[in-house]
Amino acid sequence: MAKKKTDEVRFAPTGIGDEKDGAIQKGVDLPAPTRKKHKSLGLSEDDLKDMYEQMFLQRRFEERAMQQYQKGKFGGFLHLYIGQEAVSTGTVYALNDDDDIITAYRDHGWGLCRGITPNEGMAELFGKKTGCSKGKGGSMHFAKTENHFWGGYGIVGGHIPIGGGLAFANKYNQNNRISATFFGDGAVDQGSLHETLNIAKLWGLPAIFVVENNGYSMGTAAKRHTVAEIVDRAKGYDIKSKVVNGMDVFSVFEAMKEIAEWVRENSEPYFVEIRTYRYRGHSMSDPQKYRTKEELKEYQENDPIERLKSYLLDEGILDEDGIEEIEEKVEQEVLDAVEFADESDFPDEEALYDDMFAEDEPYFHN
Partner 1 sequence: MAELQFREAIKAAIDEEMDREEKVFIMGEEVAEYDGAYKSTEGLLKKYGFKRVIDTPISELGFSGIGVGAAMNGLRPIVEFMTFNFAVLALDQIINHASKAGYMTGGQISMPIVFRGPNASAGQLGATHSVAYDSMYAHFPGLKVIYTSEPDDAKGLLKSAIRDDNPVIFMESEQMYGMKGEVSDEDDYIIPIGKGKIKREGSDVTVVAHGKMYHVAKQAAAQLEKDGVEVELIDPRTVKPLDLPLIVESIKKTNRCVVVDEAHPFGGFASEVGFLIQREAFDYLDAPVQRVTLPDVNAPFSKPLFDAWLPDAKQVIDAVNQVTYRN
Residues that bind partner 1 (CB under 8 A): 100, 102, 131-137, 141, 143-146, 150-151, 153, 155, 158-170, 172-173, 179, 191-192, 195-196, 198-199, 202-203, 354-359, 363-365
What residue type is assigned to position 59 of the chain? Answer: R
Q: How far is the CB of 115 from partner 1 (least distance, A)?
A: 13
Q: How far is the CB of 25 from partner 1 (least distance, A)?
A: 34
CA gap 229, 223 in Å, rounded: 9
Question: Which of 230, 253, 240, 252 minimizes the C-alpha distance to 183?
Answer: 230
Q: How far is the CB of 281 from partner 1 (least distance, A)?
A: 24
Q: How far is the CB of 136 from partner 1 (least distance, A)?
A: 5
Which is it for the CA torsion 144, 147, 152, 153, positive or negative? positive
Closest to partner 1 by CB, 168 or 299: 168
CA dist 14 → 18, 290, 301, 319 (Å)? 10, 11, 28, 48
For residue 213, the surrounding DSSP H or E stretch is strand 207-213
- Sequence-separated contacts (24+) of 7-12 with Cβ below 8 Å: 12/224
Closest to partner 1 by CB, 35 or 365: 365
Closest to partner 1 by CB, 26 or 144: 144
Closest to partner 1 by CB, 126 or 150: 150
CA gap 343, 243 in Å, rounded: 44
Question: Which of 294, 238, 313 minimizes the C-alpha distance to 25?
Answer: 294
Closest to partner 1 by CB, 30 or 167: 167
Q: How far is the CB of 256 from partner 1 (least distance, A)?
A: 20
Q: How far is the CB of 352 from partner 1 (least distance, A)?
A: 10
CA gap 209, 84 in Å, rounded: 17
Closest to partner 1 by CB, 119 or 133: 133
- Which DSSP state fits 31? P
- Which DSSP state fits 34? P
